[in-house]
Amino acid sequence: MNPLNKLRKQGQSIWLDLLSREIMDSGKLQSLIDNDDLRGLTSNPSIFEKAISGSSDYDVDVARLSKEETDNTNLFFNIAIDDIQRAADIFKPVYDKTEGRDGFVSLEVSPYFANDTDATIEQARELWSKVNRKNIMIKIPGTKQGLPAIRECLREGININVTLLFGLPRYREITEAFMGGLEDRLKEGNSINDVSSVASFFLSRIWNTCNPSCGAIPYSLRHHFAVVNINSWSGGEMESQVKLSYLAKVMGHKQMQSTVYYYSITPGLSDIIKELTEEDFNNIIPDVSYEKESE
């Protein structure tokens, strides 16, 4: 049993923030599921941009679709939907085995609609219908205009992953939208048993927003910031609502032992931590130089 398997035993669901045809065609994605207990996957336009521009895997489809589509947005979503469907099918056994608690793949609405409620709802419906998989989530930005869209989509039975979430006040508004959408659905006589939602926090972006000159701040403070916020966000009212993914990775750097995070944010791991070496933990959280360390 490797360290990721042991994390799963502690109730942690690991999601991959990456999608490409290469990782599916090569069998790497299936291997991560089979051998490392990977439980989900999320995507965004930037991830697809890197996948499409970084390989020749998409060249034939781009050439074909460019003859059929004059709108670049439609061309992008045609390609993205194909990949999301494939990934969702790969994760379907996880979804079935966990009775719908894991095995989700996320596809994001256009960022151009972040401040347009009606356009967000319309595109969420369209993507949900076109992908046509129970184990997908439509990502909606946690903007003020996104709140009614979240509520309406949940009312309609669309699984939602709220992205671009940066603080507790907005999170509380999102939980109200979550609950309101489920209540609306129940009032209409529909089941909520197969409707799922998650909310995703962006620790590194919060840090960079609050500390625009963070390069001059000691790295130990960055880790202190992360741990304090992780502990406050993952306790109490939020404990059963939020999956906090890749927290340590984006805040990591080569001089901080990964074990600091696991002592601080992963309940019940003390005994397992004692059994693992620092090399083991580096397999979970690679050394990351988020920015050059100041001398």
Contacts 24+ apart (CB under 8 A), 245-248: 245/14, 245/15, 245/17, 245/42, 245/200, 246/15, 246/17, 247/203, 248/285
Partners of residue 40 on adjacent β-strands: 15, 104
- Provide the 3-class DSSP secondary structure of residue 198: strand
| Cα–chain center distance at 89 | 18
Q: Rounded CA gap, 68 and 71, in Å?
A: 9
CA triple 144-148-153, angle to 5 deg? 130
Question: How far is residue 187 from each of residues 145, 152, 174, measured CA to CA in Å?
Answer: 24, 13, 20
- Which is catalytic among the residues 9, 139, 144, 254? 139
| Whether 139 is catalytic | yes
Contact 123, 110 (CB under 8 A): yes
Q: What amino acid positions are annotated as catalytic residues? A: 139
